[in-house]
């Protein structure tokens, strides 16, 4: 028996300024950026204070919909539940459905809000500069304190919510984590381990500690002369780094047999997946793009397709010099002259780089393009000043039916991963 077919039947997301996938898709389609000046970054006097962040109004809406129990949920879990509900609703599933068949939750994540934790712990420093544990514990007797949280807290929360008994895993693979979580769920269904999965990623990293860190690596855009919404400029000659973002996205995957049994309407399909360790350098890829190309080719081969069957590429496109150049060179190696008939997009131009969540957000936007036959523009892109003008990055929304999308995620540490998504 060959591998089983894997269908997408639902999705959900929260992105900066958008509380659902339709809003985000329409917003990018209308060329409205989700990137704004981050008030904390501005207050701290950062040279460039742009970020794609979930604002207090959004948090209020999220909190209002997700009922809290005795202990307030940490933000990662709140966000995860909010997005999971959207995905389940679209798929026509209820929580109990996950208990009836072998099922799983696969979520990517990198870390929790360490910034808040540091501030909280710092309140209990004594005169000599050590944290007074007794005083800390006197004030943190309940679960939910800064140190009570684990990196997999949102996976755990969703697994409890859905009553998952078979598979729960948390994938910590830097900027590729979301794509890898979807890939792992795809493989688990394909080989028959489970019938139903909720997969994606949650990331809340648009805070000052992440900024310090990535700025230290020279990865953040420092163009104070540009407005916040203009700072993420993938594949442009004048690009100079990424803009921090955050968000969450999840998709429902199920075997074709399971979807047909319950008469679900498929939205799309996961056709193929590949993931490789580059081990070139922690913060950059091979200059010639050969490792990215290897990963992209393997994903297309895994889908059982030839390269000319891919119509559209949702690039990793971070807007850093190194990534975008390597990815463009890799695209040329994989598709050759085929790029002439293809289209490309870089969603990070509109939403920033939400690290672990980026691959999941981009997978949802790719599925919507497949479903609606609408291709999204890349903001701040101008072919006249692009480094690789031969790549047809759209500057306006375009109506065009497509059958297969390649979605790339390449993480720090050399974690390369590519998904091939298809029409239902």
Residues 260-279 that bind other proteins (CB under 8 A): 275-279
Could you tell me whether strands 404-411 and 167-171 are parallel, antiparallel, or unpaired per DSSP bridges? unpaired
Let me know if 258 is a catalytic residue. Answer: no
Question: In this chain, which stretch among 166-174, 318-326, 376-384, 399-407 interacts with other proteins, using CB under 8 A?
Answer: 166-174
348 closest CA partner among 253, 226, 220: 220
| Residue 175 annotated to the active site | yes
387 binds other proteins (CB under 8 A): no
Distance in angstroms (rounded) separating the CA atoms of residues 300 and 33: 31
Q: E strands along 194-317, which residues?
A: 196-203, 247-255, 268-277, 312-314
What letter does residue 5 receive in the DSSP assignment? Answer: P
Is residue 316 annotated as part of the catalytic site, yes or no? yes
Residue 412 engages other proteins in binding (rule: CB under 8 A): yes
Contact call for residue 5 and other proteins (CB under 8 A): no
- The residue within the footprint of other proteins, chosen from 80, 415, 419, 421 (CB under 8 A), is 415
Q: Which C-beta is closer to other proteins: that of 164 or that of 386?
A: 164
* Closest CB to other proteins among residues 305, 379: 305
Q: Does 127 bind other proteins (CB under 8 A)?
A: no
From the candidates 34, 175, 199, 221, which is the catalytic residue? 175
Tokens 């119509």 — which residue?
311
Examine residue 191 and tell whether it contacts other proteins (CB under 8 A): yes
Shortest distance, position 202 Cβ to other proteins, whole Å: 12
Which candidate, 144, 146, 164, places its Cα nearest to that of 155? 164
Residue 323 CA, distance from chain mean position: 17
What does the CA dihedral 312, 317, 323, 325 come to, rounded to 10 degrees? 60
| 142 sits near other proteins (criterion: CB under 8 A) | yes
Cβ neighbours of residue 386 under 8 Å, at least 6 residues apart?
235, 236, 237, 393
83-112 mask for other proteins (x: CB under 8 A)? --------------------------xxx-
Residue 103's DSSP bridge partners are: 196
Is 413 one of the binding residues for other proteins (CB under 8 A)?
A: yes
Closest residue by Cα to residue 244 from 48, 3, 56: 48
Residue with tokens 């992209």: 296
With contacts defined by CB under 8 A, name the span among 13-21, 83-91, 367-375, 413-421 that binds other proteins: 413-421
114 binds other proteins (CB under 8 A): yes
Positions in 205-224 near other proteins (CB under 8 A): 208-210, 212-213, 215-216
Catalytic residues: 175, 316, 353
């Amino acid at each position: 028996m060959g591998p089983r077919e894997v269908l997408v039947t639902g999705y959900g997301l929260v992105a900066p300024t958008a509380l659902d996938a339709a809003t985000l898709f329409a917003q990018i389609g209308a060329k409205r950026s989700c990137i704004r000046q981050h008030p904390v970054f501005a207050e701290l006097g950062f040279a460039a204070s742009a970020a794609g962040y979930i604002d207090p109004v959004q948090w209020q809406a999220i909190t209002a919909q997700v009922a809290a129990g005795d202990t307030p949920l940490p933000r990662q879990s709140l966000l995860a539940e909010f997005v999971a509900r959207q995905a389940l609703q679209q798929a026509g599933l209820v929580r109990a459905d996950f208990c009836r068949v072998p099922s799983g939750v696969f979520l990517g994540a990198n870390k929790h809000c360490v910034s808040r934790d540091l501030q909280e712990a710092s309140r209990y420093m004594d005169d000599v500069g050590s944290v007074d544990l007794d005083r800390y514990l006197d004030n943190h007797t309940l679960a939910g304190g800064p140190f009570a949280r684990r990196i997999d807290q949102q996976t755990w929360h969703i697994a409890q919510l859905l009553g998952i008994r078979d598979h729960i895993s948390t994938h910590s693979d830097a900027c590729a984590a979301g794509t890898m979580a979807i890939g792992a769920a795809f493989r688990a269904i394909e080989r028959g381990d489970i019938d139903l999965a909720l997969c994606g990623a949650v990331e809340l990293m648009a805070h000052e500690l992440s900024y310090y860190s990535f700025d230290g690596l020279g990865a953040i855009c420092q163009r104070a002369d540009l407005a916040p919404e203009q700072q993420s400029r993938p594949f442009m000659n004048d690009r100079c780094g990424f803009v921090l973002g955050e968000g969450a996205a999840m998709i429902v995957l199920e075997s074709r047999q399971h979807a047909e049994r319950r008469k679900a309407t498929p939205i799309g399909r996961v056709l193929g997946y590949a993931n490789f360790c580059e081990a070139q350098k922690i913060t950059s890829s091979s200059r010639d793009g050969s490792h990215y190309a290897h990963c992209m080719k393997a994903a297309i081969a895994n889908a059982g397709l030839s390269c000319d069957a891919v119509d559209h590429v949702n690039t990793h496109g971070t807007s850093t010099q190194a990534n975008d150049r390597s990815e463009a060179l890799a695209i040329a190696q994989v598709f050759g002259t085929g790029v002439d008939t293809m289209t490309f997009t870089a969603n990070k131009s509109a939403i920033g780089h939400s690290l672990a969540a980026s691959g999941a957000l981009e997978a949802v936007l790719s599925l919507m393009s497949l479903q609606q036959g609408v291709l999204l523009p890349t903001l701040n892109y101008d072919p006249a000043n692009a480094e690789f003008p031969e790549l047809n990055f759209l500057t306006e929304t375009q109506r065009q039916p497509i059958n297969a999308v390649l979605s790339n995620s390449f993480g720090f540490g050399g974690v390369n991963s590519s998904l091939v998504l298809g029409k239902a």
